[in-house]
């Protein structure tokens, strides 16, 4: 049986740790703000609007880039020297116009589907501003290169064949910004340069290029450690890498087995404490692994598909989260959810409806006691105290729910 070279694995882990420690602190404002498609349209429009003593140089660069990528089409005929560049006017993501030409830009960076005859509507709107159809151009901008759907064009698809181009963010825009725009931004344009660098970094992260580049660099460091230099033959590289791969697989297999045992211990303890609390009260407790939740309910509640529930919950969350969220859910009946939400608000004497939307009627987040990083870190007594504290807080809602359900179950019964 082949022995696992733990020293070699340990060396590789140290290289990985040292590499990560040397990376600069990463902060991307666009990522942190969770920007939507409109935000990306605003960013691109703002870049294209930039003007200096030489004119709209970023817009000119963008158009020249498109022309170079579509030499078999008519984009070289566009003559826009003083562009009006708007965002979300007439619902068009980006609209570039002057007296004679117009460019419609449809932004699909997050993969949104094409609405029914969407591009047709934008062409019709543009024609309504007295632009000749042959002077209108369309850019379709998905995240990665893909064609627009046929239906979105209405009856315009064939006539726009030479005035339409796909310009993807992660393949075209990224290259354009990195190789054609950023190198030509002067040092004095501090904010413009910073914005472009942030946007390039965002697109590299969104397309996983940043991660891939880091993995490639780290791999070279590890290969050098295990004695695979540039002069090694393909056969030498293969056998040394396979040797390390087999060793890592054995270690991973043993770790996975141990992790399963640890997770089972903690989830079983969670399940036991919960059942010991609720089952004597005639309630059902079950772990819904496929839905990442743990549900607690009464048989009568099933008429409205409602339950107490730990949400965003799985075995890992018991080890790596300092907070857990408990909710009251009604699924399948939005009207009853609204009714129960209002009843609970009245019971609590506070506005509960503004923070809870279907299917949630009420929710509360509970934090693991100070000094402990996760539920798994708690002692058995601390686990019991934590869970029972939550369940005691929610017990008053059992009667509330039962009373709310009573007219539904017995519509002719008078209270």
Q: What is the pLDDT of residue 191?
A: 96
pLDDT digits (tens, 9 = 90+) for 264-323: 999 999 999 999 999 999 999 998 877 788 999 999 998 889 999 998 887 888 998 899
Residues of the chain with pLDDT under 70: 1-6, 8-9, 229-231, 352-355, 407-415
Residue 121 to residue 352: CA distance in whole angstroms:
42
Which residue ranges make up each domain of the chain? Answer: 35-184, 278-409
pLDDT digits (tens, 9 = 90+) for 117-154: 999 999 999 999 999 999 999 999 999 999 999 999 99
Predicted confidence at residue 353, as pLDDT, reads: 65
pLDDT at 1: 44
User: Is the Cβ–Cβ distance between 368 and 375 less than 8 Å?
Assistant: yes
Strand partners, 160: none
Look at residue 415 in the predicted model and tell me its pLDDT.
42
Nearest to 326 by CA among 269, 274, 268, 264: 274
Query: What is the spatial distance between Cα 319 and Cα 57, in angstroms, rounded to a whole number?
Result: 53
Q: Which residues contact 209 (CB under 8 A, 6 or more apart)?
A: 170, 174, 203
pTM of the complete model: 0.59
Query: Under CATH, which architecture does the 35-184 domain have?
Result: 3-Layer(aba) Sandwich (3.40)
Phi and psi based region of residue 41 (left: phi greater than 0; alpha: psi -120 to 50; beta: remaining): alpha
At residue 12, the pLDDT reads 75
Residues counted in the chain: 415
Query: Around 87, how many Cα atoms within 13 Å sit in the side-chain half-sphere?
Result: 14
Considering only CA atoms, which of 328, 381, 337, 336 is closest in space to residue 358? 337
């Amino acid at each position: 049986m082949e022995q696992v070279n733990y020293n070699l694995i340990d060396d590789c882990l140290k290289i990985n740790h040292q590499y990560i420690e040397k990376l600069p602190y990463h902060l991307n404002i666009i990522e942190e703000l969770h920007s939507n498609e409109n935000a990306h349209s605003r960013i691109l429009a703002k870049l294209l609007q930039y003007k200096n003593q030489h004119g709209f140089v970023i817009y000119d660069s963008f158009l020249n880039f498109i022309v170079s990528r579509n030499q078999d089409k008519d984009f070289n005929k566009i003559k826009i020297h003083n562009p009006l560049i708007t965002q979300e006017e007439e619902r068009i993501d980006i609209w570039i116009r002057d007296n004679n030409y117009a460019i419609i830009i449809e932004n699909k960076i997050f993969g949104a589907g094409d609405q029914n005859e969407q591009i047709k509507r934008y062409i019709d709107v543009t024609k309504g501003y007295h632009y000749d159809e042959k002077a209108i151009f369309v850019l379709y901008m998905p995240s990665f290169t893909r064609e627009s759907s046929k239906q979105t064009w209405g009856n315009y698809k064939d006539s726009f064949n030479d005035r339409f181009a796909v310009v993807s963010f992660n393949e075209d825009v990224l290259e354009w910004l990195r190789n054609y725009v950023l190198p030509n931004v002067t040092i004095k344009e501090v904010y413009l340069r910073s914005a472009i660098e942030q946007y390039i970094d965002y697109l590299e992260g969104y397309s996983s290029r940043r991660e891939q580049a880091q993995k490639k660099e780290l791999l070279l460091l590890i290969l050098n450690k295990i004695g695979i230099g540039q002069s090694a033959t393909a056969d030498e590289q293969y056998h040394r890498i396979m040797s390390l791969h087999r060793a890592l697989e054995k270690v991973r297999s043993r770790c996975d087995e141990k992790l399963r045992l640890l997770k089972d211990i903690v989830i079983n303890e969670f399940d036991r404490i919960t059942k010991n609390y609720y089952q004597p009260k005639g309630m059902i407790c079950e772990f819904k692994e496929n839905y990442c939740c743990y549900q607690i309910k009464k048989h009568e509640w099933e008429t409205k598909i409602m339950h107490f529930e730990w949400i965003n919950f799985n075995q890992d969350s018991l080890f790596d989260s300092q907070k857990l969220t408990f909710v009251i859910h009604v699924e399948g009946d939005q009207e009853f959810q609204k009714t129960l939400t209002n009843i609970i608000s009245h019971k609590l004497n506070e506005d509960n409806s503004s923070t809870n939307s279907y299917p949630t009627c009420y929710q509360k987040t509970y934090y693991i006691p100070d000094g402990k990083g996760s539920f798994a870190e708690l002692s058995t007594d601390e686990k019991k105290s934590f869970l029972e504290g939550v369940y005691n807080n929610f017990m008053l809602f059992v009667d509330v729910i039962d009373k709310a359900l009573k007219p539904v179950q017995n519509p002719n019964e008078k209270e």
